[in-house]
Amino acid sequence: MPRTSASTAPDLRFSGRRPFETAREAQEVSELIRLVLVNANADIGDSAGEAIMLDTLNGGRSGSFVFKATPVATDGRRLYPARTVVKVAPLDAGTAEQANYEKFVRPFLPSRYRPELHGFATARDRAALCYSLLGDGDKPETLTDRLAMGDLVALDLILLPLFEHLHRWRSASEIQPESDLARYYLARYFGDTRSAILAETTLLGHAARYFGGQHNARGYRIHKADFPAICELLFARRDARTYTSCIVHGDLNSDNIMLDGRRKFAGVIDFQRTGRGHIFQDIVALEMSVRINAPSNATFDDIWEVERLIALGKPPMCSNPYAVAIIGIRKTGRRLFGFEKSFASYQFAVAATGLRLMRATDLSDAACARITASVLWAVTKLTDV
């Protein structure tokens, strides 16, 4: 289909309520969407009389607008299934994503498991990216959607192809030894120690609320077990922890893992943070997505015990699908990435990633309890090394 020209910039229609706060924001975002569609070699909206219907998709916590774009006739009929997604992000974030895509994604990631970037445009303080649509056009589905329904079988179905894809991505890049794991996570997630300490304060509030945690001379005490001060252990050590770096997705939460109609792995999206990073970072991010999104009717005491068993590497009860899912992620990662010799850096990533999530304001009590317990048991394992 021929490319859309400036003279045939598509008319935009929004399905449902527009996600904008002001009329000015709506106008500026709409103008940018038209611009990126004009610049894109996208298979949409170039016939006379056609318009583009924009259905709002979940933009996650990034502050971006994400729309599924479907060609419609003048009478509103959808002409064929959606094939395109338009993402409008803050200028620095969108520019970084476009650069990361061209440097790390297009050259190394198989086209089968990534969206095609058709177009890029900027205006004022925003950037727009026009991608092909992964998954089923009528209703794109993420792993988050399945986890929220309690469908942990979907996770099991996509684990191996997802991790094999990550392993090939890693193999395509130069794997390098790095000197300071604490500096890496402090810079990436917190910026400075003050922000990390504030996150620890939030976590300890959760520990007191859910598990009866109390301060003591060594750090914290919960159920007759002592735990070290988290930031002191992670970020104040004089002897730096070494680690291995490679290309990582950088934000492999379940919102960014797409499934097809058969619950099979369709690909990954959102490359704003893609680049060189800790080799276990993506695996831990997936773990945390299960902690956040899987439903729970467990008591807080049960959550505490399950996270203890996970940290110790003990087989969970087969009747606990949540624990089986976390262990399954670790077993699959261990098979492909072989982290027995560097499992301390994996536990470090669990603690640092969980600490970062204490800044989120939309987590359920179960998610907060799971993450809090996983961080505390991870730092305890670090003291054993």
Q: Is residue 108 part of a domain?
A: yes
Q: Is residue 1 part of a domain?
A: no
Same domain, 66 and 145: no
Domains held by the chain: number: 2
382 touches 374 (CB < 8 A)? no
Same domain, 105 and 170: no
Name the residue among 242, 370, 221, 222 with its Cα closest to residue 306: 370
Last residue of a domain, one of 76, 98, 132: 132
Distance of CA 356 to the CA centre of its chain: 13
Same domain, 155 and 216: yes
Please state, in angstroms and as integers, the Cα–Cα distance from residue 264 to each residue in 108, 143, 153, 160, 338, following that order.
Answer: 21, 10, 11, 11, 25
Same domain, 128 and 172: no
Same domain, 46 and 83: yes
Same domain, 123 and 151: no
Name the residue among 1, 94, 76 with its Cα closest to residue 41: 1
326 touches 350 (CB < 8 A)? no
Using the structure block, give the residue that is written with the tokens 């004009």: 38
Backbone angles phi, psi at 361, to 5 degrees: -110, 5
CATH number for the domain including 359? 3.90.1200
Name the residue among 11, 287, 1, 257 with its Cα closest to residue 140: 257
pLDDT in tens, 193-223: 999 999 999 999 999 999 998 988 778 899 8
Same domain, 188 and 77: no
Last residue of a domain, one of 99, 132, 165: 132
Q: Is residue 314 part of a domain?
A: yes
Length of the chain measured in residues: 385
Q: What is the C-alpha separation between 287 and 285, in angstroms, rounded? A: 5
Name the residue among 170, 373, 131, 129 with its Cα closest to residue 252: 170
Which range marks the domain in which residue 164 is found?
Answer: 141-383
Q: What is the C-alpha separation between 137 and 140, in angstroms, rounded? A: 6
Same domain, 127 and 150: no
Q: What is the C-alpha separation between 303 and 323, in angstroms, rounded? A: 10
Distance of CA 382 to the CA centre of its chain: 25
How are strands ordered across the β-sheet holding 243-248?
176-178, 243-248, 275-278
Q: What is the C-alpha separation between 53 and 163, in angstroms, rounded? A: 35
In the numeric block, which tokens belong to residue 161?
A: 């192809």
pLDDT in tens, 37-84: 988 854 444 444 478 889 998 755 667 899 998 888 877 777 777 788
Last residue of a domain, one of 132, 158, 176: 132
Same domain, 229 and 349: yes
Q: Is residue 203 part of a domain?
A: yes
Same domain, 128 and 161: no
Same domain, 149 and 13: no
pLDDT > 90 fraction of the chain, expressed in percent and rounded: 59
| pLDDT, tens digit only, all 385 positions of the chain | 333 344 466 789 898 888 888 999 999 999 999 999 988 854 444 444 478 889 998 755 667 899 998 888 877 777 777 788 999 999 999 999 999 999 999 998 888 899 999 999 999 999 999 999 998 767 789 999 999 999 999 999 999 889 888 888 877 777 889 999 999 999 999 999 999 999 999 999 999 999 998 988 778 899 888 999 999 999 987 778 999 999 999 999 999 999 988 888 999 999 999 999 999 999 999 999 999 999 988 999 999 999 999 998 876 666 788 998 999 999 888 888 776 567 889 999 999 999 999 999 999 999 999 999 999 999 999 886 5
377 touches 310 (CB < 8 A)? yes
Q: What is the C-alpha separation between 349 and 264, in angstroms, rounded? A: 27
Same domain, 276 and 357: yes
Q: What is the C-alpha separation between 293 and 51, in angstroms, rounded? A: 36
CATH number for the domain including 87? 3.30.200.20
Q: What is the pLDDT, as a whole number, of residue 329?
A: 92
Q: Is residue 377 part of a domain?
A: yes
